[in-house]
Each structure stands twice: as C-alpha cells, then as structure tokens.
Amino acid sequence: MAIDLKGRSFLTLLDYTPEEIRYLLDLAKDFKKKKKAGELHKYLEGRNIVLLFEKTSTRTRCAFEVAGADLGMGVTFLSPNDSQMGKKESISDTARVLGRMFDGIEFRGFRQETVEILARDSKVPVWNGLTDKFHPTQVLADLLTIEEKKGHLKGLNFTYFGDARNNMGNSLMIGCTKMGINFTACAPKSLFPSEELVEKCSAIAAENGCSVKLTEDVSEGAEGADILYTDIWVSMGEPESIWAERIKLLRPYQINSDVMAMAKPDAIFMHCLPSFHDTNTTIGKEIAEKFGLKEMEVTDRVFSGLQSVVFDEAENRMHTIKAVIYATING
C-alpha cells in the first residue's frame, strides 16, 4: 500500500504506523544522499513554515531552518517574546491565523496539549519539536542513526538509562516498540514511565515481535544491550530545586566505562544532547561546585569514546526533519 502523509501532523510516534515510520526513514536516507552529493532539492519553493519556540534549542531549530532552506521554503522563527501567542491571543486563535499564512507549523514548548490545539485549529501540518511529554523528531533521527550503525532495527536490544518518564524516555519506548526493537528502561522506580504508556507500548511491542522491560538494576539493563542511551537528569521546564534529588536518584545510572563494558562489545552509545559530560557549561560548572560531580549522565570518556555516535544523531536531526516536512506538506 502506498504511503501518503500529506496533510498529517507529527505530534507523537503513537500516531504513526511502523510502515509510515519506515517510509520517513527511507525518505530521510534519500535526502541525506542528495545533500552529501550536493544535489539541490528545492522541491517546496514558494511554501513557507513557521517555527514557534517556548523553550531554547540548538539542534531542533537549526535542523528545521536548514531543512526548510534546502527545500527552498521561507522559514519564520518566533520566540516567546516575538508573538502574541498565549499572552494576548489564545493558542486556538494563533493557530487559525498562522494556518492562513503558512504551509506548516513547528512547535517546541511545555504542554503537549498546545501542539494538539495548533494541529486541530490551524488545518496545516504541525510538527512537535519537543514538549514535556514527547520528542518524536529526535527519535526519528535516533532510529536512522541506529540503522546506519547496525544495518537493521528489528531484534536489537535498546536500553535507556535515567529519567525514563521524560519526553525522551516516553518517545524512545514508543519508537523502539514500533520498529521491533526490544526496549528496556533502566531507572529508579519513581522515574519509570507511566503505567498507561507502558501498557500501550507493551501492546505495540507484542504486535511487532519485541518487548518492553523496566528494571532498577544497572547490570540487568546493560547486559546484552546493542544500544545504551541516556539524557540529562533535569529537563527544560523542571525547577532548579530538583537537581539535588535527581542527582541522588540517578547517580547510580550514569553511563560510564564499567556500564559500557557490560553491554555487547560492539554496543553504541547514544544521547539526544545537550549533555553534561564535563564542566564546560555554566550549569555543569555550578553542579560541580555544589555537588562535587564533574560528569553527570555520562562520563566524558564514554561520550568522547569510539562507541559514541552522538554527533551522527545530531546531524540526522536535519535529514529526518526534512523528510517529515516534505512528506506531510507534499505527500
């Protein structure tokens, strides 16, 4: 059956079938090849998209800007200080205005509900560039990176260490189970994903011949893993006061050389970035001074080591986002 994603929004991977995700990954591979060959692909000349950011970003913003420019589109960026949205105009009214001017809307912010309202009321494709709940465009880039490194997806063992109920933990559990990858969340119980989502993903896993596992035990999480993944311990939007508690909870789940050694010898290390693997950031420095911790979710040695593929992931954000924009605007 031919895949047609024209007019669809991209709010969570729960809305996409494995065949549709496969289609987007293959399209991203095509675009990546064209980009590397210097072959122009301004297929969407004359179209325009808008990027709405309530939270900060390097990768997601740049990926949308470059992907849009490569496709020949006009790209407008709006930070929270630049628009009326939320303060003087409701999300719904903003959606109806933007939908009259733009062919697609990207949103990064706090509530998943906001991206849902934008999609419902703008009548154009809306892409979720991260909310508190989900980060689906990141997972698409992660799946592409895994496939490039491992040659396939089905049957691989993926373990996520850290805050397993944040946007990355949630979205990776969905993306892995959709594509037949065995997913393990290795975290303290209080940071396990919600029972509701685990139930949903277990059903998805059963359909796709893979599994979902939750464990508090680091060696159980690491042994036999093909992919070890982590994210920062405190996400955007969470209060600074939570650092002390998170450090206490998640320190045992740091990915370091000992943990990597428990995984398969050819395992890869992944991270959505940004990462606190040294003290070369303002927050990294503050945490080091306050808690005496110079590396957090991953050690610098693993982050910079041969098994790390983090910058391939970052590059793949652009190729996969381009595929999403193209497929949903053009079909």
Q: What residues make contact with ligand CP under the rule CB under 6 A?
A: 57-60, 130, 138, 272-273
Within residues 24-43, the interface with ligand NVA by CB under 6 A covers none
* Of 138, 186, 246, 254, catalytic: 138
- Least Cβ distance, residue 37 to ligand NVA (angstroms): 30
* Of 121, 163, 226, 231, catalytic: 231
Q: According to CB under 6 A, which one of 94, 145, 167, 308 is a site residue for ligand NVA? A: 167
Show the site string, 223-262: x = touches ligand NVA by CB under 6 A, - = not: --------xx--xx--------------------------
Who's near 17: CB < 8 A, 6+ residues apart? 178
The binder of 58, among ligand CP, ligand NVA, none, by C-beta within 5 to 8 A per type, is ligand CP
∠ CA 12-18-21, rounded to 5°? 60
DSSP string covering 22-89:
HHHHHHHHHHHHHHHHT----TTTT-EEEEEESS--SHHHHHHHHHHHHTT-EEEEE-TTTS-BTTTB
- Dihedrals phi, psi of 185, to nearest 5 degrees: -100, 120
Calpha distance 139→127 (Å, rounded) = 13
* Of 176, 186, 210, 272, catalytic: 272
Active site residue 272: yes
The binder of 232, among ligand NVA, ligand CP, none, by C-beta within 5 to 8 A per type, is ligand NVA
168 binds ligand NVA (CB under 6 A): yes
Active site residue 111: no
* Of 135, 165, 271, 319, catalytic: 135
The binder of 168, among ligand NVA, ligand CP, none, by C-beta within 5 to 8 A per type, is ligand NVA
309 binds ligand NVA (CB under 6 A): no
Active site residue 135: yes
Q: What does the DSSP 8-state code read for residue 123?
A: -
Q: Which is nearer to ligand CP, 62 or 262 (CB)?
A: 62
Calpha distance 157→165 (Å, rounded) = 19
**CA proximity to 212, closest of 186, 238, 246, 242:** 186
| Sheet of strand 212-215: strand arrangement | 212-215, 182-186, 157-161, 227-230, 268-271
Report residue 130 as tokens.
Answer: 């991260």
Calpha distance 259→228 (Å, rounded) = 9
Residues making contact with ligand NVA (CB under 6 A): 130, 166-168, 231-232, 235-236, 272
Known catalytic residues are 108, 135, 138, 231, 272, 317
